[in-house]
Amino acid sequence: MLPLRTDIVASLIMAKLNKDKFKRTHSVCFLFNDLEMQVFDDFCKKYKINNRSGFIREAVMRKIFKKMDEDYPTLFDFDVD
């Protein structure tokens, strides 16, 4: 069954809204020293990472979400070891 024309238009509008919602507009800049840059370049070559900014963004956000998950309040404070 083909979607109705209104469904297609609604889908296009939602896609545009989502695109605008997730558009990256903020820049973050940091510097590597020579050794760090060499290690980063070697890593990207070894694992064939072409989108280095995406890789860095994902690594940073993964670290943030992991820390937020660890810091999330629990009902009982105890260590599970």
pLDDT in tens, 12-67: 666 766 777 778 889 999 999 999 999 999 999 999 999 999 999 999 999 999 99
Provide the pLDDT for residue 37: 97
Q: At what angle do helices 34-46 and 52-71 cross, to 10 degrees?
A: 100
d(CA 38, CA 42): 6
In the block, residue with structure tokens 């558009």: 23
For the whole model, what pTM was predicted?
0.64
Provide the pLDDT for residue 9: 67
